[in-house]
């Protein structure tokens, strides 16, 4: 990342929020201002960073990316863990206590896995087109507290259920804001595509507080779910996607 956007105060706030299971990257503390997807101008209800110039999601225009075969590969080090799951009112999030054994490395930096969650439809667009679903795997550098998010696009193009996705769905909690510890073992490798080429840029959380400075990695190859699985996600939280944000001169790199 060429430019650092986190101040110490923002980093400390974000770290505390994540530990509490808040933001999208989780749920908001009860005393925080209410926000929803029907009125996504969240800076108007007190989340000032949401009006910043380094916001996510964006429309990735493939004709304008800077392509390179020299970009670092993402090294995935994922191992099975028993998931903890919570419906935070905006998405259904899976957490882990086993961050040290689940991480990614890129550009010489290791980011420990924190949680994943979904959006329907996709938040990012590719050449103005949305996908039916997007999963975010959220990771954090334990040294700086900076975040890196892997985004995976999914579409209902399979006649059979996706096994990983089915394990996720079958453990959806019946109540909101209560984290449930399960005996279901997940391995994040099962949701990764074979081709790990990606788009990358600097952005933000896509929900309040919209903190800026995140490393976004959008995998180019898409994954498949069944129509019934997509419907199950939509029935729980439909169109929980933030609108596209201005690029504001940012560069999108593309690993080829």
Enumerate the active-site residues.
90
In DSSP notation, 218-234 reads EESS-EEEEHHHHHHHH
Residue 56: which of 162, 147, 171, 190 has the closest Cα? 147
Distance CA 194, CA 38 (A): 36
CA distances from 218 to 153, 193, 253, 254, 255 (A): 8, 12, 10, 9, 10
140 CB burial (10 A radius; 0-12, 13-18, 19+):
buried
Report the C-alpha gap between 113 and 139 in whole angstroms.
Answer: 4
- Among residues 75, 78, 85, the alpha carbon closest in space to that of 101 is found at 78
Would you say 206 and 178 are in contact if contact means Cβ atoms under 8 Å apart?
A: no
Query: Which of 189, 194, 210, 180 lies closest to 137 in space, CA to CA?
Result: 189
Which tokens go with 78? 């994922």
């Amino acid at each position: 990342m060429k430019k650092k956007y986190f101040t110490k105060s923002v980093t400390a706030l974000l770290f505390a929020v994540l530990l509490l299971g808040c933001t999208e990257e989780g749920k908001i503390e009860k005393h925080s201002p209410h926000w929803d997807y029907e009125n996504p101008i969240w800076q108007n209800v007190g989340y000032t960073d949401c009006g910043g110039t380094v916001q996510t999601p964006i429309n990735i225009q493939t004709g304008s990316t800077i392509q390179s075969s020299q970009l670092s590969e993402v090294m995935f080090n994922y191992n099975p863990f028993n998931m903890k799951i919570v419906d935070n009112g905006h998405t259904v999030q899976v957490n882990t206590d086993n961050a040290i054994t689940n991480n990614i490395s890129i550009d010489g930096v290791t980011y420990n896995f924190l949680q994943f969650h979904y959006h329907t439809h996709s938040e990012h667009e590719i050449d103005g087109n949305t996908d039916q679903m997007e999963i975010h795997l959220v990771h954090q550098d334990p040294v700086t507290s900076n975040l890196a998010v892997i985004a995976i696009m999914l579409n209902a193009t399979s006649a059979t259920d996706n096994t990983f996705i089915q394990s996720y769905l079958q453990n959806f909690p019946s109540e909101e804001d209560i984290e449930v510890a399960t005996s279901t073992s997940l391995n994040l490798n099962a949701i990764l595509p074979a081709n790990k080429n990606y788009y990358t840029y600097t952005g933000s959380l896509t929900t309040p507080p919209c903190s800026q400075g995140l490393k976004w990695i959008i995998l180019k190859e898409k994954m498949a779910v069944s129509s019934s699985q997509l419907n199950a996600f939509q029935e729980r939280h439909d169109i929980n996607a933030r609108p596209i944000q201005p690029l504001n001169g940012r560069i999108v790199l593309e690993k080829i």
